[in-house]
Amino acid sequence: MRGSDTLVLNRSALPAKGDWRREDLALGEIRELERFLASVEQRAFRIARIALRTDDDALDVVQDAMLQLAQRYGQRPSAEWRPLFYRILQNRIRDYQRRRQVRNRIFAWLPSFADKDEGATEPDPLEQVGDPGPGVVEQLATGEAMKLLEGALGALPARQQEAFMLRNFEGLDVAQTATAMGCSEGSVKTHYSRAVHTLRAQLGEAW
Amino acid sequence: MNADQEPEVPGDIEARSKAVFDTSVDEVNARVRSRLTQARFAAVAELERRKRSRWQGIPAPATGLATIAIVAALVVGPLIHRTGPVGPTLADEDMPILLDTDNMEMIENMEFYAWLDDDTLDDDSAQQAAQPGEPARS
């Protein structure tokens, strides 16, 4: 009988083995990215929320940052993701802030919008400290301390705010913060130090 | 100390603000968490799509080598182990067809094609199919 002479082939096992290994590796990297994003998404949202002051804008920039990280840097080693992610996030925040400034200038130029938008788009953060009626996040449980902190951070110049949040909240070291901010390490130290001094002056007594 | 130099040890303001921030992160509401989860899934799906397209786009030379190895095993293996009469062998013109990676099914069904090609079997079948009294077709 011929059956004893023939080589029995299992097509699914033989040629696909290498492919499986490659796919396993790819799946591992994908899961790693998912874990990374899950570990930073809520913190990134809070940082964006402090900088932009609305939930929807903060969600938009975090979503963009996640997608861009996957598109542009998903193939890079996972150790590089953290500063890269925050760099994308900070760039997106700055884009939103610039866009908002331009919009404000246009609306300010139009008399019909000037009165309505002046207070709403450029609020004084310190004046907001005692305001009991903002968004859902605050109402749930952010607390008075967070409101004070948000107000004080909101009053900082953007670069000081970035340096403080990345260094202090996210625990990035000076080099990583410099990468995320796109500046020198010396600049990071300067911005951070000034931020701490300002915050101490504003919050010291309240805290 | 220079006022513009970062302090080496975190002060009260830094420690307190970090604690407040961490608490606020834990208290992000369900709507925001849901939106963040959706955004994460979209980002992961994007990476998966990119990796899959890259993975499928590779010509995969390993697959071609594996095919050659299988064909070699099919041709040489039976010759080495066969003790009885030598069966049908592959003609030269069969090799390009077999080496084509699209023809894996043909490799799987090699035994069937060999059976089809078996002259002896054809003769037997022809004789059985022939009407009594009529000569068998050659």
Domains observed in chain A: 21-95 (1.10.1740), 125-207 (1.10.10.10)
CA neighbor of A81 nearest in space, from A189, A180, A184, A182: A180
Nearest CB partner across the interface for B17, out of A141, A149, A197? A149
Structure ipTM over 0.85, yes or no: no
Q: Give the pLDDT of residue A143.
A: 74
> What is the Cα–Cα distance from A43 to A59, expressed in whole angstroms?
11
For residue B127, pLDDT beyond 90? no
Q: State whether B23 and A38 contact (CB < 8 Å).
A: no
Interatomic CA distance for residues B136 and B107, integer angstroms: 33
| pLDDT the model gives residue A141 | 46
How close is the nearest chain A Cα to the Cα of B5, in Å? 6
pLDDT, tens digit, for every residue of A83-131?
Answer: 999 999 999 999 999 998 888 888 777 766 555 544 455 555 555 554 4
CB < 8 Å to A140, chain B: 27, 29
Contacting residues for A183 by C-beta, under 8 A, at least 6 apart: A159
pLDDT given for residue B96 in this prediction: 56
- Is the pLDDT score of A19 beyond 90? no
pLDDT reported for residue A8:
52
Contact call for residues A59 and B35 (beta carbons, < 8 A): yes
How many interface pairs between A and B have CB atoms less than 8 angstroms apart? 172
pLDDT at B107: 54
Residue with tokens 């011929």: A2
Give per-residue pLDDT as tens, A23-67.
666 788 889 999 999 999 999 999 999 999 999 999 999 999 999
Which residue would you say has higher pLDDT here, B79 or B49?
B49
Mean per-residue pLDDT, B83-97: 54
**Cα nearest neighbour of A31 on chain B:** B44
Give the least confident one: A139-148, B2-11, B15-24, B48-57: B2-11
Residues of chain A with pLDDT > 90, as a percent, come to 57
Residue A164 has pLDDT above 80, yes or no: yes
B82 contacts in A (CB within 8 Å)? 5
Q: How would you write chain A as a 3-class SS string? A: CHHHCCCCCCCCCCCCHHHHHHHHHHHHHHHHHHHHHHHHHHHHHHHHHHHHCCHHHHHHHHHHHHHHHHHHHCCCCHHHHHHHHHHHHHHHHHHHHHHHHHHHHHHHHCHHHHHHHHHHHCCCHHHHCCCCCCCHHHHHHHHHHHHHHHHHHHHCCHHHHHHHHHHHHCCCCHHHHHHHHCCCHHHHHHHHHHHHHHHHHHHCCCC
Residue A62's closest CA among B20, B42, B18? B42
pLDDT of residue B18: 93
Are residues A45 and B46, on separate chains, in Cβ contact within 8 Å? no
- With a cut of 60, say whether residue A204 has pLDDT above it: yes
- A149: phi then psi, degrees, rounded to nearest 5: -65, -45
Measured between CA atoms, the residue of chain B closest to residue A1 is: B84
